[in-house]
Chains A and B, each alone.
Chain A
């Protein structure tokens, strides 16, 4: 087997697994911090019980997220050494900045938060959680700046056979990074909001701890409503910029084969990559793609047939990932809007509680689909337009990679099952009694 293919498979598996846990950390840390600050300011014990209940779920999720993150940093060296040598000047610094500016903060303070309940004042303890939330989200910012440089490299020159930094500000304020941050982090907030609403819905459905879970639900509802509408609106801007910077991704995500003005968009299609056309097309809207990509119905959109075959991303995955993301991204704000109207009659509206329990996995799927779109749609490039993925791998043997890949699948399979088993168990168990703090 081809070691490059195996390394890609391994990176896909480990990154997607890691990103099952990251969005919940990003969003739930903010929600728990909010609950604890409310407790610190009012002394209302329900907020304390909320903090502890959601905090416990947060910590199980956090543990799996943290340990699976270490692998990613080192995988650039182990499996992508050609890439690392080529871009380390820029990409490596961004990872190092992430560690020293944000990851330290998050990891050190989480220990203080877990064990510091009786060592710190109420307010100080709440501030520690705020710093954990800040650390997590700043961490995401630097990682997204790094990823955005792979999507749309800026601020560099070719020198000594590699990409060298020549404008640090251009890298940090890369428009792609700004848009990506404003998309990915709110999408993570949506996931956390639906997690809290779904579990709250379960307890409200069982008519237990009604006060605590009604409050939790409402906090998450407001958070989720704002974030989900934001993600949709911002996603539109994001698509415009992708059109400008990554025309191949746009063509693939729409399975758009022929260059044309008033380019149509299809609701659904089955792309046939071999014959360079769509087998079935359904719900064609003329001009919609031009409108999406350029905000101009008459704009010309480049089709896949005008892109050399070796520069095209895999069409089917990119196309489906985009559809799944958008479909869920449209559904979620609607679900929160319904909640807004019945927020004071949640227990009576049992059908809505059932829907919200069932909705927990949806933002997970949308988050994963979004990353598939971003990463698979960037192919065949590891750094868009600069370096091909096929040129980026380490000179390691297929045996080495296949052994580590199998080990990852086993270990991560175990971690994932145990992690979600424990989260489920503690979620169903519900909050404990208040103890004196």
Chain B
């Protein structure tokens, strides 16, 4: 029981870290056609992500791998149920990844426009689709007694799911704009700050709407009412939201970005603690839900994997923090001139 519960929250934590890290990549990529006025701007935007996006994306691989290892039935059901949505995300991520590498390799405007388009779609689509997918998980999927998904892509595009998509997009737009405010200077930085200021009120409204809609569309609040201390998670999320605004006005962009990270982690855990112990609740019958207890791996596997994760994830954090330390300063002309760079 304890082991399975630990894994449940680790599972949530890995998704949260993925959303925090790759989230600003999605944001910058979505803002890319709007803020990148000149080729120089565009290159600075790509460079602001260049050294980090690949390592960030591995959090997704790890979240997926851990779902497979710790909750095989969830992995099997989640990804086969969300087949088309996941395929769209994968294609988007594929295009985004190669675009960074390909774009600068041929000196032709049409060539660059092609990959510019891919960067935008490859960033905006996953931002929205992850939101749609997770909102649907919060609300429950139509799973029958054999955990078979009785629906299709359109089932997922319900109002609550779509609101989740908009919410995630807003999170990542703010997160990305703040990241750009850290790494760019001059006009580009100013435009990034302006975007963050403009999207923030929208985010606030959508977030509140999502919290209210969740009461109607999901059983998430049951856990909150049973354990009122959990409302602290929502409080932390709101504190992060307000922190963004506060630090933005102080021009403390890194702190604003950290606040945004707190908001994203808070929002993820808002769903995760509400779901517990369900990983994939069934909207047909609560009995058919996949939970941390009925869908987990054997205790031996959970133990071994826990040791692996406790041993290696701290090591990963050490070198990722080192990488962030190297690449949170302003992108300089010297960086752009590197002949192996993008």
Given contacts A77-B68, A89-B297, contact A100 B80 (CB under 8 A): no
| B158 at the A interface (CB under 8 A) | no
Contact check: which of B58, B64, B105, B339 meets A107 at CB < 8 Å?
B58
**A107 with B73, Cβ < 8 A, contacts A100-B62, A394-B80 known:** no
| B66 at interface, CB cutoff 8 A | yes
Mask, A362-397, CB within 8 Å of B = 1, is: 000000000000000000000000000000001110
Give the size range of B's interface with the partner: 35 or more
Given A165-B298, A394-B76 in contact, is the A115-B305 Cβ separation under 8 Å?
no
Determine if B326 and A98 form an interchain contact, defined as CB atoms under 8 angstroms apart: no
Quick one: which of B72, B98, B312, B327 contacts A85, CB cutoff 8 A? Answer: B72
Q: Majority SS of interface residues in chain B?
A: helix
Q: Is the CB of A84 within 8 A of B76?
A: yes
A52-B339, A115-B327, A116-B326 known; A92 vs B304 contact (CB < 8 Å): no
Judged by a CB distance under 8 angstroms, whether B213 is at the interface is no
Picked from B65, B93, B148, the residue with its CB within 8 Å of the CB of A96 is B65
Q: Is B91 an interface residue (CB 8 A)?
A: yes
List A contacts of B309 (CB < 8 A).
Answer: 100
- Bound Cα distance A404, B82 (Å): 13
Asked whether any CB of chain A lies closer than 8 Å to the CB of B41, the reply is no
Cβ-based interface call for A233 (8 A): no
Once the chains bind, are A109 and B50 in contact (CB under 8 Å)?
no
Q: Does B101 contact A (CB under 8 A)?
A: yes
Judging by beta carbons under 8 Å apart, are A109 and B94 in contact? no
Chain A residues near B65 (CB-CB < 8 A): 73, 92, 95-100
Tally A residues with Cβ within 8 Å of B: 74
The A interface, classified by DSSP as helix, strand, loop or mixed, is: helix
| Complex Cα gap A414–B86 (Å) | 20
Task: Indicate if B335 sits at the interface (CB-CB under 8 A).
Answer: yes
Bound complex: CA of A114 vs CA of B51, how far in Å?
7
Mask, B3-30, CB within 8 Å of A = 1, is 0000000000000000000000000000
Q: Which residues of A contact B60 (CB under 8 A)?
A: 70
Q: Given A70-B57, A70-B94, A411-B95, verify A99-B323 contact (CB < 8 Å).
A: no
Most chain A CB within a 10 A radius of its CB, from B61, B322, B341: B61
A77 near B80: Cβ-Cβ < 8 Å: yes
Bound: A165/B302 CA distance, A: 10
Stretch at the interface among B161-169, B194-202, B215-223, B313-321: B313-321
Partner of A112, one of B51, B53, B75, B100: B51
| B94 near A114: Cβ-Cβ < 8 Å | no
CA distance A96 to B312 in the complex (A): 11
Q: Is B52 an interface residue (CB 8 A)?
A: yes
- Write out the residue numbers on chain B whose beta carbons fall within 8 Å of the beta carbon of A112: 51, 322-323, 326
Task: State whether the Cβ of B69 lies closer than 8 Å to any Cβ in chain A.
Answer: yes
Q: Is the CB of B297 within 8 A of A168?
A: no
Q: Count CB-based A-B contacts (< 8 Å).
A: 233
Q: How far is the CB of A56 from chain B (nearest CB, A)?
A: 6
Identify B316's interface contact among A85, A100, A407, A418, CB under 8 A: A100
B residues less than 8 Å from A108 (CB atoms): 54-55, 58, 316, 319-320, 323
Of B86, B105, B319, B341, which is within 8 A of A115 by CB? B341
Of all chain B residues, the one with the shortest Cβ separation from A167 is B300
Q: Is the CB of A114 within 8 A of B341?
A: yes
Residues of B within 8 A of A41 (CB): none
A93 lies within 8 A of B69 (CB): yes
Residues of B close to A425: CB separation below 8 A: 105-106
With known contacts A93-B69, A96-B68, A98-B65, A418–B300 Cβ distance under 8 A: no
Q: Kindly identify, within residues 62 to 77 of chain A, every residue whose CB is under 8 Å from any CB belonging to chain B.
A: 63-64, 66-68, 70-71, 73-74, 76-77
B97 within 8 A of A: yes
**In residues 29-59 of chain B, which contact A (Cβ within 8 Å)?**
47, 50-55, 57-58
Q: A108-B316, A115-B327, A435-B339 are in contact. Are A74 and B64 (CB under 8 A)?
A: yes
The verdict on B285 contacting chain A, using a C-beta distance below 8 Å, is: no
Given A52-B339, A111-B327, output 10 extra A-B contacts at Cβ < 8 Å. Answer: A59-B101, A85-B73, A89-B69, A93-B308, A101-B312, A107-B55, A111-B52, A115-B341, A415-B94, A432-B339
29 A-B contacts (beta carbon < 8 Å): A60-B101, A63-B98, A67-B97, A74-B86, A77-B79, A81-B77, A81-B80, A82-B76, A85-B72, A85-B76, A88-B73, A88-B297, A92-B75, A92-B297, A100-B312, A101-B308, A104-B320, A105-B319, A108-B323, A111-B55, A112-B322, A114-B341, A115-B335, A115-B341, A164-B301, A165-B304, A395-B148, A400-B84, A415-B98
> Which A residues lie at the B interface, using CB under 8 A?
52, 55-56, 59-60, 63-64, 66-68, 70-71, 73-74, 76-79, 81-82, 84-85, 87-93, 95-101, 103-105, 107-112, 114-120, 159, 162, 164-166, 168, 394-396, 400, 403-404, 407, 411, 415, 418-419, 422, 425-426, 432, 435
Residues of B in contact with A (beta carbons under 8 Å apart): 47, 50-55, 57-58, 60-62, 64-73, 75-80, 83-84, 86-87, 90-91, 93-95, 97-98, 100-102, 105-106, 148-149, 297-298, 300-301, 304-305, 308-309, 312-313, 316, 319-320, 322-323, 326-327, 334-335, 338-342
Shortest Cβ-Cβ A-B pairs, 5 listed = A88-B72, A77-B79, A92-B68, A108-B55, A96-B65
